């Protein structure tokens, strides 16, 4: 009986040791190059899928024109109908308000992408002049700073 108990205990120890070694190998980091390639692929696939319904009117002033990827960043381009306001006055008067609102919205709606290391850029151009008005680059770190404030 003692022999069986010792044999059983020895088998449990060996199995535990092998399992621990196997688990240790499974927790090794994914190679950084492969991780970067995977992020770029995911961003590319997401941009392609999300672009299928574009252009899309967001509200009476804003139209989403395109979604593309630049490496592991999803770049959303919007046209803003500024009405009678000049591009310069839009940039001067609306930049900080727009940045705050857009950043909060993206931090909430795109948290899965951001957590996976896929960043987001929102580019706004004038519908009339086609000139760039704003660009907001949003990362997980920026969202964390926003949440801390």
Place of tokens 């580019």: 123
Rounded to an integer, what distance in angstroms lies between the CA atom of residue 101 and that of residue 58?
Answer: 15
What single DSSP character describes residue 83? Answer: T
The pairing of strands 73-80 and 119-126 is: parallel
DSSP annotation of 55 reads S
**Token couple for 40:** 């770029």
Report pTM: 0.76
Tens of pLDDT, residues 10-68:
455 556 655 555 554 455 566 888 888 888 998 899 899 989 999 999 999 999 999 99
Strand, coil or helix: 127:
coil
């Amino acid at each position: 009986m003692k022999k069986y108990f010792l044999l059983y205990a020895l088998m449990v120890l060996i199995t535990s040791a092998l399992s621990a070694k196997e688990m240790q190998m499974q927790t090794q980091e994914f190679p950084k190059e492969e991780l970067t390639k995977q992020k770029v692929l995911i961003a590319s696939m997401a941009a392609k899928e999300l672009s299928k319904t574009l252009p899309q009117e967001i509200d009476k002033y804003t139209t989403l024109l395109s979604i593309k990827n630049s490496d592991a960043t999803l770049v959303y381009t919007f046209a803003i109908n500024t009405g009678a306001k000049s591009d310069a006055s839009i940039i001067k008067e609306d930049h900080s308000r727009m940045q705050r609102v857009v950043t909060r919205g993206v931090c909430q709606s795109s948290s899965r992408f951001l957590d996976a290391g896929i960043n987001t850029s929102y580019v706004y151009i004038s519908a009339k002049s086609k000139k760039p008005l704003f660009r907001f680059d949003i990362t997980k770190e920026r969202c964390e700073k926003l949440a801390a404030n």
